[in-house]
Structure 1
Amino acid sequence: MEHLIGQLKALAEPTRLRVATLLALGELTVSELVQVLGQSQPRVSRHLKLLTDAGLVERQPEGAFVFYRLVSAGPGQRIANVIGDLTPPDDPVLKRDLDRLATVKAARAAAAESYFQRANEDWNRIRALHLSEDEVEAAMRDAAGSGPFQLMIDVGVGTGRILEVFADRVTESVGIDVNHAMLNVARLNLERAGLTGASVRKADVSALPFDDGVADLVTVHQVLHYLDDPAVAIAECARVLKPGGVLLIADFAPHQLEFLKTDHAHRKLGFSDEEMTEWVENSGLEMRRRSALHPEEPENRLTVKIWSARRTPVRASQPPVSARDLTA
């Protein structure tokens, strides 16, 4: 009861209620809230701290940036879920806030789209080397199974497309990436798609910001070939899976297109079934399914491989290998 009273007290101040209402519409930084509210940075930061201390707001560091959002779990979740519905839509102050928010989000979208246009040229060159994305996505959905999945983690979220692909089977999804500009592209796309249960955050696959055994589905789409040590990434993905959880990997079969290393920063020229199975099993998972999507003209083209593995019950005598064990 005392905790609930504290949360209600935190909201019983006009500016903090405005902040909570804005965050109900998506993640925002301090500087973006300053632009919307027309208040100083120290004052806005103070309001955010009080809302965070009350368990209504959480902060997500992203390099030099920090994004704030309403909590998605814990004692404050139920109140956070209804804040947007309780505030009067015809309030003149809130209407002004929403107009300013639209301007702020338009500027963010313009920056994201500018980055995406620059990066998209490289992606289109690579896409032309293999089957269409529609075929790859359909095969991924088939390999994952029908679910439903409570929590999905997408490693290397990119544009956010894989979160959209599985949205109808997932209650909550989180995409992680190390690229701040790419995260903003994903935010924009998820917002446009109306995926309120999806969010993104900055993190590295070698140290996922999640507890052990929390995810029902982990997807790794065209990420491993950029990594120096894919085995460590697979072990970390395995760590966060629940018993029965699914790890879904889409990447390339072994190939000889050396220009992908020199021109596109690929560290690995594809993966064999044997090495992928070894990494998966060393991480305490069971390889359940392997499939290959061959291009119509195989010469100088890429075959996309899809591997599906599942977390099996852990035996006391043989605990799963962790990412830390592999790097020791």
Structure 2
Amino acid sequence: MKFAAGATRGLSHETLVTALRAAGEGTRLRILALLGDAELTVKDLTSILGQSQPRISRHLKLLADAGLVVRSVEGAFAFYRLAEDPSGVRVADLVLSQLDPDDPVHRRDRERRSAIRAANAAAAADYFAANAAVWDRIRSLHVPEAQVEAKAVELLTGRTIRALLDVGTGTGRMLELMAPHAQRLVGIDASAAMLAVARANLSAAGVTNARLAQDDVYALSLGTDRFDAVVVHQVLHYLDDPARAVREASRTLRPGGHLLVVDFAPHTMEALRTEAQHRRLGIARHEMADWLADAGLETVACLDLAGSDDTLTVTLWLAVDPRIVADDVRTREGAFA
């Protein structure tokens, strides 16, 4: 067989046999179908499929060994999702495209998965409600969130975004806003509880091109030169070393990629240190300029959104990785390897 220049080669004999053998079993096919548009834990899958934890874990290991699913850890939980490696994607897509969506077995599985999602969403809502008072008070102190969000989206769009990273995703709001503008999105947060809130929010919004992971803003496990856009939205004022977080976020940018930072301008509201655990009372323009320069980025925009005299000012910084785009030889799938 001959391949045209730039064409995608097929899989090796052994790779294809291993993947098809893993997918060609009743329970494992049900697992693949369930993971088609949602991340699930072993506990979720045992509840949906009515099988023991050891059996489900064994099936997941075989699927993972075949490159069809991947595992990520959040605190005490491990989430599974379909693999994003090109070879795994092709086999999973091929198999799942042949499934009848109205098959009674898979329809019942989806119904039980919906019940699991509803329970998870309720738990996330409880956590959000417990913290809502603090968040609502902070929102009341600055320009309306809708204005900030609109300006953030405006700054990021207008260019191709194959892969976007949201550092400190919180409730997942930036992922929800950017989902129509990016092919793939990743949101990371140090808090498993906040990731549960984000997962529930994204599910309710119908966002299917984003994934979430627990990670460290100072030591991201996502590799280098992976993303066309990185967002750090209202995160740096919580950190002891925000400059280090900026450097780490910039490391994940592809050549020509953009970093958007949104945070408060300097202010004097000392109460936020105790009420909301803010480590810094805003960030000055010259500080951010230094941090971006030290990270090897060039600032292309800096905008203030100010409220009334007694409210906080929100500043948006947009910076670009000055390396030429031609230096970037990675494919879209590389961002999720």
TM-score range for the pair, normalised by the shorter chain length: over 0.9
Choose from 214, 220, 225 the match for 1:202.
214
Q: Which amino acid aligns with 2:281?
A: L
Q: Which moved more, 1:239-248 or 1:100-109?
A: 100-109
Alpha-carbon distance in structure 1 between the residues aligned to 2:31 and 2:264? 45
**Separation in 2 of the partners of 1:95 and 1:144?**
39
Instruction: Tell me whether 146-155 or 95-104 shows the greater mean CA deviation.
Output: 95-104
Q: 2:288 aligns with which of 276, 279, 293?
A: 276
Q: 1:147 and 1:81 mapped to 2: Cα distance?
A: 28
Tell me if structure 1 keeps the 8 A contact 2:302–2:315. yes
Q: Where does the alignment leave 5 or more consecutive residues of structure 2 unmatched?
A: 1-12, 325-337
Structure 2 distance, partners of 1:25, 1:82, is 15
Which 10-residue stretch deviates more, 137-146 or 251-260?
Answer: 137-146
Q: How does 1:161-176 map to 2 (within 5 A)?
A: 161-176=173-188
> Structure 2 residue aligned with 1:307, among 301, 310, 317?
317
Residue in 1 that maps onto 2:85: 73
The counterpart of 1:8, out of the listed 1, 20, 29, is 20
1:298 equivalent in structure 2: 309
Deviations 1:266-313 (A, max 9, x none): 000001110100000001111111010010x212x1000000000012
Q: Partner of 1:34: helix, strand, or coil?
A: helix
**Alpha-carbon contact 1:21-1:83 (below 8 Å) kept:** no
Give the length in aligned residue pairs: 312
Q: Tell me which amino acid in the other structure corresponds to 1:58.
A: V
Is the 2:266–2:282 contact (alpha carbons within 8 Å) kept by the matching residues of 1? yes
C-alpha separation between the residues in 2 aligned to 1:77 and 1:199?
Answer: 15
Alignment correspondent of 1:28: 40
Query: Does 1:184 pair with 2:196?
Result: yes
- Displacement, 1:82? 4.5
Q: Quote the offset at 1:89 in angstroms.
A: 2.7
Bigger shift: 140-149 or 80-89?
80-89
Task: Identify if the C-alpha distance between structure 1 residues 263 and 155 changes in structure 2 by more than 3 Å, giving closer, same or farther.
Answer: same
Cα distance, 1:194 vs structure 2? 1.6
- Whether 1:90 and 2:102 are equivalent positions in the alignment is yes
RMSD of Structure 2 on Structure 1 (CA): 1.3
How far apart are the structure 1 equivalents of 2:86 and 2:102?
31
Deviation at 1:143, TM superposition (A): 2.3
1:63 aligns with 2:70: no
Rounded Cα–Cα distance in structure 1 between residues aligned with 2:93 and 2:234: 34
Q: Is the 8 A contact 1:256 1:269 kept in 2?
A: yes
The equivalent residue for 2:117 is: 105
Name the counterpart of 2:166. Answer: 154
Q: Letter of the 1:302 partner, please give it.
A: L
Q: Which residue does 1:320 correspond to in 2? A: none
Q: Which moved more, 1:189-198 or 1:79-88?
A: 79-88
Aligned to 2:224: 212
Q: Which residue of 1 aligns with 2:131?
A: 119
Task: Name 2:265's counterpart in structure 1.
Answer: 253
More divergent stretch after superposition (122-131 vs 112-121): 112-121
Deviations 1:86-115 (A, max 9, x none): 222333322322222122111111101111
Residues 127-179 of structure 1, C-alpha deviation per residue, up to 9 Å, x if partnerless? 00011111001111222241220000001111111012112221000000011
Structure 2 counterpart of 1:140, from 142, 149, 152 = 152
Deviations 1:238-288 (A, max 9, x none): 100011000000000000000000111000000111010000000111111
Question: In structure 1, what is the Cα distance between the partners aligned to 2:260 and 2:172?
Answer: 16
The separation in 2 between residues aligned to 1:255 and 1:286, in whole angstroms, is 26
Give secondary structure in 1 for the equivalent of 2:299.
Answer: strand
Which whole-Å CA distance do the structure 1 matches of 2:108 and 2:177 have between them? 35
Code of the residue aligned with 2:204 in structure 1: it is: R
Which sections of structure 1, spanning at least 5 residues, go unmatched?
Answer: 315-328
CA displacement at 1:204 relative to structure 2:
1.2
Structure-1-length-normalised TM-score: 0.92
Quote the residue 2:6 is aligned against.
Answer: none
Residue by residue, what CA displacement relative to the aligned partner does 1:7-49 show, whole Å, maximum 9, x if unpaired? 1110111010011111113000001100011111001000000
Q: CA deviation at 1:83?
A: 4.3
Q: Percent identity?
A: 48
- Secondary structure class of the residue paired with 2:101: coil
Offset of residue 84 of structure 1: 4.0
Q: Are positions 1:238 and 2:255 aligned together?
A: no
Matched residue SS, 2:79: strand
Q: 2:165, 2:227 within 8 Å by CA — same for their partners in 1?
A: yes
